[in-house]
Structure 1
Amino acid sequence: MDAYCKMRDMSKAQKVLHEMLDRGLQPTVVTFNVLMNGFCMSGMVEDAERLLKWMLEKGIVPNAATYNSLMKQYCIRNNMRTTTEIYRSMCAGGVIPDSNTYNILIKGHCKARNMKEAWFLHKEMAGKGFIPTSSCYSALIKGFFKRKKFAEARELFEEMRRHGVVADRETYNIFVDMNYEEGNMDITLDLCNEIIENCLVGKPKNEDT
């Protein structure tokens, strides 16, 4: 099933599921998550929603990964209203969000320019001991920078460095330009050296979750 989902051949993936059920085999939540992710990666959101509904009707308890796949797809579509509804449904069902849940939601809200909600989720995430990914920090920093919220952007940049999270090239460029314009040449040179040390010269931005 996993191979078919990765190839986005969802008809064959579903056939494997039906064969399992016909043989009296009980798929686990991991099996359904593979299928859920396959539907979402293939852009078949309606099928993913039907699968989630079927799981709930059959008493199969979804986990965070189940919901994450669906929320990520709606974030890609910039549909934060539905994403938020799914998140609330997830929490109401007793499913605890994981670090990936927060990364998905924060990046989605940043993309939709909902920086207040993104900042709130970041604080909530930190309170649970989760560390954002590089791309999540990048989305937050870029969002605040575009709104000239430089204090928040600097706070996030220093935070990610404390956590040992390497910024992508675009994030570094923001702070190089900012410090150069402010006349902070020593800081500008230090940042340029960090870019070289982290081998980010000419390297595309990170594509983590």
Structure 2
Amino acid sequence: MKKRGWTPGIAVYNSLVYVLTRENCMKDAHNVFNKLIDEGLQPNVETYNSMIVPLCESCKLDEARMVMESMVLKGIVPSTSMYHAFLKQEGIEESLKLLRKMKEDGSDPKSDTFLMLIEKFFQRNESGNALRVWNEMRRYDISPARSHYMTMVQGLVKHGCIPRALEYYDEMKEKGFAPDTQLDKEFKTFLLANRDHWRGAGKYNIIPQRGRHFTIRSRMQ
């Protein structure tokens, strides 16, 4: 490239590092990393991101942590996208630690950080951990958006936690968010099918009435 009078910039090297790391050519990726330094360029957070993100995607978390530690020693603060790369792979305890670390570094977890974690734990069939993330979100003073409520409700429904799902769905509507037609149908079907023998363990009680009609009442108004 230099022979043609063009010197590659840091963005080109970052792209090469990403592709080589993704293809598991770590020796070549490190060579490119060293090459850009030899050319007088300074690795930035995106350079390290280009190696850390594909390592996390390949579940090579120990290697990714080593790269991040090397970066931090050079005084570079991890980016939100870098933390997200780890959060997508970690279990609940490590995820909670990373959230605290994000706050310490000044990269406060955002609304989409928690949405991503809630989705992840439902996909892993870990509804209890999704609920822990929800509670943690409140501690960071982040108000759930409709997308958070919908993800929570749909995840709980999928895992058979209908009473809890109803509570979150009601809360969502009370906050002024638009209801979901499909969920309305699913909840109505469930309540009708269970009106004579089901008692909600949470907020809802189904009270059998004469004929086809019944009422839903809350223990706490």
What is the TM-score normalised by the length of structure 1?
A: 0.64
Are residue 83 (structure 1) and residue 95 (structure 2) matched? yes
- Among 164, 168, 189, the alignment partner of 1:149 is 164
Q: Indicate the residue corresponding to 1:187 in structure 2.
A: none
Q: Indicate the residue corresponding to 2:116 in structure 1.
A: 104
For 1:119, the aligned partner's letter is: W
| Matches of 1:61 and 1:71, distance apart in 2 | 17
Are residue 15 (structure 1) and residue 46 (structure 2) matched? no
- Do 2:52 and 2:67's aligned partners in 1 also have CA atoms closer than 8 Å? yes
| Matches of 1:57 and 1:24, distance apart in 2 | 19
| Matches of 1:132 and 1:37, distance apart in 2 | 29
Q: Indicate the residue corresponding to 1:34 in structure 2.
A: 50
| Matches of 1:95 and 1:68, distance apart in 2 | 11
- Do 1:107 and 1:139's aligned partners in 2 also have CA atoms closer than 8 Å? yes
1:27 Cα offset (Å):
1.8
Q: Indicate the residue corresponding to 2:78 in structure 1.
A: 62
| C-alpha distance 177-36 of structure 1, shift in aligned 2 (>3 A) | same
Q: Which has the higher helix share?
A: 1
Corresponding residue pairs, total? 171
- Do 2:17 and 2:29's aligned partners in 1 also have CA atoms closer than 8 Å? yes
What is the TM-score normalised by the length of structure 2?
A: 0.61
- Among 177, 189, 204, the alignment partner of 1:162 is 177
1:89 Cα offset (Å):
2.1
List runs of 5+ in structure 1 lacking aligned partners: 185-209
List runs of 5+ in structure 2 lacking aligned partners: 1-13, 194-221
1:53 Cα offset (Å):
0.6
- Do 1:37 and 1:69's aligned partners in 2 also have CA atoms closer than 8 Å? yes
Q: Which has the higher strand share?
A: 2
- Do 2:88 and 2:116's aligned partners in 1 also have CA atoms closer than 8 Å? yes
Bigger radius of gyration: 2
- Do 2:119 and 2:130's aligned partners in 1 also have CA atoms closer than 8 Å? no
| C-alpha distance 17-155 of structure 1, shift in aligned 2 (>3 A) | farther
| Matches of 2:23 and 2:171, distance apart in 1 | 41
Alignment RMSD: 3.4
| C-alpha distance 84-118 of structure 1, shift in aligned 2 (>3 A) | closer
The structure, 1 or 2, with the larger RCO (C-alpha pairs under 8 Å, 6+ apart) is 1
1:84 Cα offset (Å):
1.6
